[in-house]
């Protein structure tokens, strides 16, 4: 990899997500050599992926070059590489560009879409975990309307304009709200020769309420907001399969659709060599102690979505969200310096700042530590928080300007099929 050995211990971080970046920032100006490896040369701001999928933002505005994060840092190296195997006994990593040794290893690989072993769903459903996947979804949504224009077979046309989102967490709710706004504000203007009133947005939730990690009030309000926007919310319905045409559920309910969007779960993105059953806790996450040390490996740590730290307050680990990843990254930065200087480690304590979700224009729900609110003010808070945590000044300006423009003009100008998604419409028709 062409990285010289220095006299300082080498810390290798796998993953430049929220956790990896906040750790790298903490290690700046410390007596360590830091090597950051990521399969992408950019950081993805996942909370706004749904806006890319629905044409509200361009992809560049939610991505940030990882090399730029490290500009001006001494003894820092970035390599664009996917880590394929960890060999803990040799303190060595195998990657797509060669091997690298480490003194300390930090796994910050985040999570991936969980289809719970259902290969049929995996093959036909659309996931939304990365920028390329969001662009695929954006293209597919638009291509479906272009196809709907071409057919006079009304069943087929309805299925092309029928969207089924599985998973009533923040991603599903936000996506459903955005699609409903497109149906209301954009489709009638873009497709005057198509009866877009027949377009349907279905949100399917396995449990008995949406946003089940938030307060009951937030769930109720989010459902009300969605229904006002014309979204059909189906609760206590479990999807069992999708063959590219028909969504089957555990009940009698079926949906004929060209688009099933899977937002029903994620699992830890483990790497070969550190994926033995005894290392894994719930959600395919690496079991770590209160110092984020992977159990049984004193010089290997895991942070963020991939880490499962079971505590009294969080018996199933911390939520797979940006805040735990950022806070764990910072704390681990301090702890690594302590470890290298022979000082005792300090336990990680999660400061829960609350959670929020937006449903659409002027509609959001916020559960903060001591206060819960919904509606217009919540929507402004949601926007402010997302702008604040977005990485890069340019990105903040671009996103802000886009939001103001979209708000004033009721528009989403990034509804472009730049990279067509190759769906086999003939198969769909058959
Ligand atoms: C659609 C969506 C919406 C979300 N909305 C919110 C929200 O509103 N609020 C919130 O708090 N959280 C939200 N989240 C969750 C949040 O994005 C994650 O919890 C957070 O990104 C976790 O940070 P991380 O550092 O653990 O992993 P990530 O940010 O996922 O970063 C992991 C990095 O590791 C890299 N990587 C993975 N495997 C390898 C490998 N083998 N080799 C090299 N590199 C690798 C990836 O390329 C990536 O850059 C959302 C997630 C999604 C998908």
Q: pLDDT, tens digit, for every residue of 342-399?
A: 999 999 999 999 999 999 999 999 999 889 999 999 999 999 999 999 999 999 999 9
pLDDT-derived band at 327, boundaries 50, 70, 90: very high
128 and 229 share a domain? yes
Neighbours of 427 (CB within 10 A): 10
Q: Model confidence over 49-71: pLDDT tens digits?
A: 999 999 999 999 999 999 999 88
pLDDT of residue 70: 86
pLDDT of residue 356: 96
pLDDT-derived band at 310, boundaries 50, 70, 90: very high
Q: Model confidence over 165-182: pLDDT tens digits?
A: 999 999 999 999 999 999
254 and 301 share a domain? no
Q: Is the pLDDT of residue 422 over 80?
A: yes
Q: Model confidence over 83-96: pLDDT tens digits?
A: 999 999 999 999 99
The answer to whether residue 168 sits within a structural domain is yes
Cβ of 55 less than 6 Å from ligand 1: no
Euclidean distance between the first and final Cα of the chain, in Å? 50
Beta bridge pairs of residue 150:
none
Domains in the chain: how many in total?
Answer: 2
Cβ of 332 less than 6 Å from ligand 1: no
The answer to whether residue 408 sits within a structural domain is yes
The answer to whether residue 352 sits within a structural domain is no
pLDDT of residue 168: 97
297 and 408 share a domain? no
Q: What is the mean pLDDT of residues 287-315?
A: 96
Domain end, chosen from 311, 340, 369, is at 340
Q: Is the pLDDT of residue 418 over 80?
A: yes
Q: Whose CA is nearest to atom 5 of ligand 1?
A: 47
pLDDT of residue 10: 97
pLDDT of residue 188: 95
172 and 27 share a domain? no
pLDDT-derived band at 340, boundaries 50, 70, 90: very high
The answer to whether residue 355 sits within a structural domain is no
- Cα(145) to ligand 1 centroid in Å equals 31
pLDDT of residue 369: 85
Domain, as residue range, for 415: 119-264+361-429
304 and 315 share a domain? yes
- Cα(324) to ligand 1 centroid in Å equals 11
Q: Model confidence over 242-268: pLDDT tens digits?
A: 999 999 999 999 999 999 999 999 999
253 and 183 share a domain? yes
The answer to whether residue 105 sits within a structural domain is yes
404 and 379 share a domain? yes
- 3-state secondary structure labels for all residues of the chain: CCCCCCCCCEEEEECCCHHHHHHHHHCCCCCCEEEEEECCCEEECHHHHHHHHCCCCCHHHHEEEHHHHCCCCCCEEEEECCEEEEEHHHCEEEECCEEEECCEEEECCCEEECCCCCHHHHHHCECCCCHHHHHHHHHHHHHHHHHHHHCCCHHHHHHHCEEEEECCCHHHHHHHHHHHHHHHHCHHHHCCCCCHHHCEEEEECCCCCCCCCCCHHHHHHHHHHHHHCCCEEECCCCEEEECCCEEEECCCCEEECCEEEECCCEEECCCECCCCHHHEEHHHEEEECCCCEECCCCCEEECHHHEEECCCCCCCCCCCCHHHHHHHHHHHHHHHHHHHCCCCCCCCCCCCCCEEEEEECCEEEEECCCCEEECHHHHHHHHHHHHHHCCCHHHHHHHHHHHHHHHHHCCCCCCCCCCCCCCCHHHHHC
251 and 392 share a domain? yes
Q: Whose CA is nearest to atom 44 of ligand 1?
A: 38
311 and 407 share a domain? no
149 and 209 share a domain? yes
Domain end, chosen from 278, 308, 340, is at 340
The answer to whether residue 166 sits within a structural domain is yes
Cβ of 171 less than 6 Å from ligand 1: yes
Domain end, chosen from 340, 370, 402, is at 340
pLDDT-derived band at 429, boundaries 50, 70, 90: confident
**Average pLDDT for the chain:** 95
- Cα(323) to ligand 1 centroid in Å equals 11
330 and 385 share a domain? no
250 and 374 share a domain? yes
Q: Read off the CATH number of the domain in which 171 is found.
A: 3.50.50.100
Cβ of 329 less than 6 Å from ligand 1: no
pLDDT of residue 425: 87
pLDDT-derived band at 430, boundaries 50, 70, 90: confident
- Cα(282) to ligand 1 centroid in Å equals 18
pLDDT-derived band at 410, boundaries 50, 70, 90: confident
pLDDT-derived band at 74, boundaries 50, 70, 90: confident
Q: Read off the CATH number of the domain in which 89 is found.
A: 3.50.50.60
**Sign of CA pseudo-dihedral 133, 419, 146, 229:** positive
pLDDT-derived band at 282, boundaries 50, 70, 90: confident
Burial of residue 323 (CB within 10 Å: 0-12, 13-18, 19+) is middle
The answer to whether residue 126 sits within a structural domain is yes
The answer to whether residue 422 sits within a structural domain is yes
Active site residue 413: no
Percentage of the chain beyond pLDDT 70 is 100
């Amino acid at each position: 990899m062409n990285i010289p050995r220095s006299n300082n211990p080498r810390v290798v971080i796998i993953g430049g997500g929220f956790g990896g970046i906040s750790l790298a920032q903490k290690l700046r100006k410390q007596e360590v050599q830091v090597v950051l490896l990521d399969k992408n040369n950019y950081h993805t701001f996942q909370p706004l992926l749904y806006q890319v999928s629905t044409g509200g933002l361009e992809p560049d505005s939610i991505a940030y070059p990882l090399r730029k994060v490290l500009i001006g840092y001494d003894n820092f190296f970035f390599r664009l590489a996917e880590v394929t195997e960890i060999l803990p006994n040799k303190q060595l990593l195998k990657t797509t560009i060669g091997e690298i040794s480490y003194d300390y290893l930090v796994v910050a690989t985040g999570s991936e879409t969980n289809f719970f072993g259902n290969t049929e769903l995996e093959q036909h459903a659309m996931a939304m975990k990365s920028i390329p996947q969001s662009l695929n979804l954006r293209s597919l949504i638009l291509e479906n309307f272009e196809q709907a224009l071409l057919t006079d077979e009304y069943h087929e046309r309805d299925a092309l304009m029928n969207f089924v989102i599985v998973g009533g967490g923040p991603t599903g709710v936000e996506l459903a709200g955005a699609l409903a706004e497109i149906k209301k504000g954009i489709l009638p203007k873009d497709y005057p020769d198509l009866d877009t009133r027949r377009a349907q947005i279905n949100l399917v939730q396995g449990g008995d309420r949406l946003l089940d990690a938030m307060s009951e009030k937030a769930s109720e309000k989010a459902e009300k907001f969605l229904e006002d926007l014309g979204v059909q919310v189906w609760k206590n319905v479990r999807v069992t399969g999708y063959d590219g045409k028909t969504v089957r559920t555990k009940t009698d309910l079926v949906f004929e659709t060209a688009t099933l969007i899977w937002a029903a779960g994620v699992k830890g993105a483990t790497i070969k060599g550190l994926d033995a059953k005894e290392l894994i806790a719930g959600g395919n996450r690496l079991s770590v102690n209160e110092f984020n040390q992977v159990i049984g490996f004193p010089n290997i740590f895991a942070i963020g979505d991939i880490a499962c730290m079971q505590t009294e307050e969080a018996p199933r680990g911390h939520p797979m969200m940006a805040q735990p990843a950022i806070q764990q990254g910072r704390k681990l930065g301090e702890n690594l310096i302590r470890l290298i200087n022979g000082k005792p480690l300090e336990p990680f304590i999660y400061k829960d700042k609350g959670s929020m979700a937006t449903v659409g224009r002027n509609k959001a729900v916020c559960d903060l530590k001591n206060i819960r609110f919904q509606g217009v003010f919540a929507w402004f808070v949601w926007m402010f928080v997302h702008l604040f945590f977005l990485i890069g000044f340019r990105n903040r300006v671009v996103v802000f300007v886009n939001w103001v423009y979209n708000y004033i003009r009721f528009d989403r100008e990034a509804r472009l099929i730049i990279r067509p998604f190759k769906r086999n419409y003939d198969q769909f028709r058959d």
